[in-house]
């Protein structure tokens, strides 16, 4: 595997690992419980910021490898968390967890497998 592919693999693994952390942090919670748990909200937001940072780093590549993912929206969420954190709606974070993370995790793992099998990536 090339150095570049190894770097991309590491970043995609970062997404998977942070999704797994988020899932652990919110396991068994309802939206109301999540909203009331400031520590869980902070932890989840930090994980999402890492995920969105990878989305920035993989700009162009991510869209090619996983075009069905909402990369631009992901980057926008990262900007919101970094620069307008006081306007973030917890329900939006919850919707991302509920609606987007499963397919993103799956696509990242599939892309990692392709990178591992393709020496030209």
In the prediction, which pLDDT does 75 show?
95
State the Cα–Cα distance between residues 45 and 97, nearest whole angstrom: 11
CB atoms within 10 A of CB 23: 15
For every residue of 4-29, DSSP letters joined together read HHHHHHHHHHHHHHHHHHHHHHHTT-
- Global confidence as pTM: 0.92
Block residue for tokens 């993912």: 69
How does DSSP classify residue 86? G
- pLDDT string in tens for the chain (121-residue length): 788 889 999 999 999 999 999 999 999 999 999 999 999 999 999 999 999 999 999 998 999 999 999 999 999 999 999 999 999 999 999 999 999 999 999 999 999 999 988 754 4
State the Cα–Cα distance between residues 32 and 49, nearest whole angstrom: 22
In the prediction, which pLDDT does 119 show?
54
């Amino acid at each position: 595997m090339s150095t570049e592919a190894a770097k991309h693999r590491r970043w995609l693994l970062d997404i998977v690992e942070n999704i797994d952390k988020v899932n652990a942090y919110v396991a068994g919670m309802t939206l109301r419980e999540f909203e009331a748990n400031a520590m869980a909200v902070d932890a989840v937001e930090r994980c999402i910021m890492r995920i969105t940072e990878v989305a920035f780093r993989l700009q162009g590549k991510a869209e090619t490898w996983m075009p069905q993912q909402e990369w631009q929206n992901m980057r926008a969420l990262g900007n919101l968390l970094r620069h307008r954190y006081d306007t973030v709606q917890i329900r939006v974070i919850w919707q991302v967890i509920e609606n987007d993370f499963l397919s993103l995790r799956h696509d990242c793992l599939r892309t990692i497998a392709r990178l591992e099998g393709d020496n030209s990536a």
